[in-house]
Structure 1
Amino acid sequence: MIVHGEKTILNHFIEVFVNLDDEKVKSVAQRCLAAGIIKYDVIAALNEGLMIIGKKYENDEYTLTDLMMAGILFQDIINMKEFDIAFDVNSYVQEGTIILGTVKTDIHDIGKSMFKSVALASGFKIVDLGVDVSPETFCKAVKSGEKCILALSAVLTTTIQYLRETVDELIKHDLRKNVKIIIGGSLVSEEICRYIGADAFSINALDGVNICKTWVNVNE
């Protein structure tokens, strides 16, 4: 439970992050961790900030460059050495393996990288296949491991067919039963999730990782 003092610091953290103030946001992040605020709550604050930035972009208050800056700043904070050594029980738990990639013909990387950072901070092992990943490559990665989670990222509407083809490729090789599939990106929805045969979808990194954690906990 977040106490009043921690909430005040986190609110300030969200404010400077939304303002994309590079120096201040890192300084406040250090204050959060020094105050004993766990990494999960810092990540949740970052996620809230990203949602605000996304709305500002939709309202033409922020540009695409601002969105990219937010993504870079997010990763810079996650990669801070103070963040890495901050005490958090999740740091000592290996949650499971997530195979991650952006689907064929799509080279967008920001959302995938955010998801990867949050998943790593939450104790997951990540196999990052990169961008423009073919259904066959995803299938090969799943085939080489035990039961795992497959996280597919897609931003372009033209890539929906490749989301579907990736799932079909797993079915073709009798691997679908070995994997839970989550899709993410600005275009995903419950309808698309059902259409391609995925297990879940998420439009932000924190919610996506939380879904993955529920799957791992069920299998324990």
Structure 2
Amino acid sequence: MGRRFQELAFTPLVKQHQQEHGSRAQYERLAERSGPGNTLGPDEQTFISLRDSFYMASVGETGWPYVQHRGGPKGFVRIINPSLIGFADLRGNKQYISLGNFDHDARVALFFMDYPNQTRLKILGRVKVHEHDSEAPALIESFRSADKSSVVERVILVHVEGFDWNCPQHITPRYTVEELQEVLTPLTQKLAKLDEENAKLREKLRRLSQIESTSTT
């Protein structure tokens, strides 16, 4: 955990609870040993580039938080530089809750999950929406995918303020169809080979049985 994440997330009330429950000293020591933690390193960049979804939290004018799931092919969240990531905002149900929340408060929290390996990365940042500004056309074109049915309405950039890796405790392993296929394909091929060998053995036994039957008559 970098120092910047602690500065943003560990408010006086949070520290009060840490003190009450005995974890404050531990986090103080961690802060002394940690780096700034406001830019993504190689591990964080690789982790994000391999994700096919993430969760995004924003806060609206009523003060209520709102969490949204975003998904796409691996790599749909792009690393522009170590302190800037972005993704295409595609046409959806047209509620625009997150978009309205960003007009009120540009701060955002992202959760990137790797369920098979029980790993998660939290990012705190500030959003910049590019839709009607001079940079929007070029950004939208650069984020456009090969899927012609996906309509890119805008590009959302997130300026990273801090990040933290979470422990794997209580993350239930889950697997996508693609991940299951990677594991099951060798087994399926092996079973197919065994079925082929069994079929040949059955045919060989059938012929031997015919020969024995013919010889006894």
Normalised to the residue count of structure 1, the TM-score between the two structures is 0.23
Structure (1 or 2) with the greater helix fraction: 1
- The answer to which structure, 1 or 2, has the higher relative contact order (CA under 8 A, 6+ apart) is 2
